[in-house]
Amino acid sequence: MSIVRAFILSMCLLLVATDIYCNTPGVKKHKVMIQRVSIYQLGDDSFKTIGEYFGNKREHPYFRCIARDNENIRTGTYFVVGLNKSITLLPKETFVRIYAITSLRDGVLSFKCRIPDDRHAFVSEIYCGITSTPIDIENLKSWKVEFIDKNDKILCSQQSYMWQ
């Protein structure tokens, strides 16, 4: 039993040290790039935790990073963005801007989500939710995802094949 405790304690210390190192000013930041983007239609139940069933009114993301354009609504279209590095390497006050084309009639739809500053060191995936306006994934023709800082400087981006 003591070996298991020692292992768990060492893993916790490693995660804390990694988080402190990644958030230290002056430490050289490695370039964060988008590796993959998956699009899902997710409902409210996809984010409900056991604590909410027992009376906790607040959503707890646990080890997920969730950014929504409307924080009060959970149901919507989610662009799940996988990065090559930890999200702690992104600067504070980072935003995700998503452009989507569903039809020529609607034109280019634009959405902006703020990535929470409370981040875990070993998370490299962000759930970017478009919850204010429903998007039909089956009619989604093209999309573009950009990570931008507070000055609108593009940190990294990824687009679908049809986006030109």
> Which residues are CB-contacts of 157 (< 8 A; sequence separation ≥ 6)?
34, 144, 145, 146, 147
Q: What is the CATH number of the domain that holds 74?
A: 2.60.40
pLDDT of residue 159: 92
pLDDT score, position 72: 87
* Residue 8 lies inside a defined structural domain of this protein: no
E runs forming strands in 59-163: 65-68, 76-83, 95-101, 108-114, 125-130, 142-148, 154-159
- Record the tokens describing residue 147, joined without a space: 């990570």
Residue with tokens 């609607």: 106
- Counting residues of the chain whose pLDDT is more than 70, the rounded percentage is 79
DSSP secondary structure code for residue 72 in this structure: T
* Model pLDDT for residues 39-54, shown as the tens digit of each residue: 999 988 887 777 777 7
Residue 81: domain span: 29-159
| DSSP string computed for 27-61 | SPPPPP-EEEEEEEEE-GGGS--HHHHTT--S---
Q: Is 23 contained in some domain?
A: no
Task: Decide if pLDDT at 154 tops 80.
Answer: yes
Q: What is the DSSP letter of 22?
A: H
Give the model confidence (pLDDT) of 100-120 as tens digits: 998 877 788 899 999 988 887
| Number of structural domains the chain divides into | 1
**pTM: predicted TM-score of the whole model, two decimal places:** 0.76
- 55 part of a folded domain: yes
Examine residue 10 and state whether it is found in any structural domain, yes or no: no
Residue-level pLDDT at 28: 47
| Average pLDDT value for the chain | 82
Confidence of residue 128 (pLDDT cuts 50, 70, 90): very high
Q: Is residue 47 part of a domain?
A: yes
Whether 33 maps to a domain, the answer reads: yes
Q: Are 79 and 68 in contact (CB under 8 A)?
A: no
Residue 5: inside a domain = no
Q: Identify whether 40 is part of a domain.
A: yes
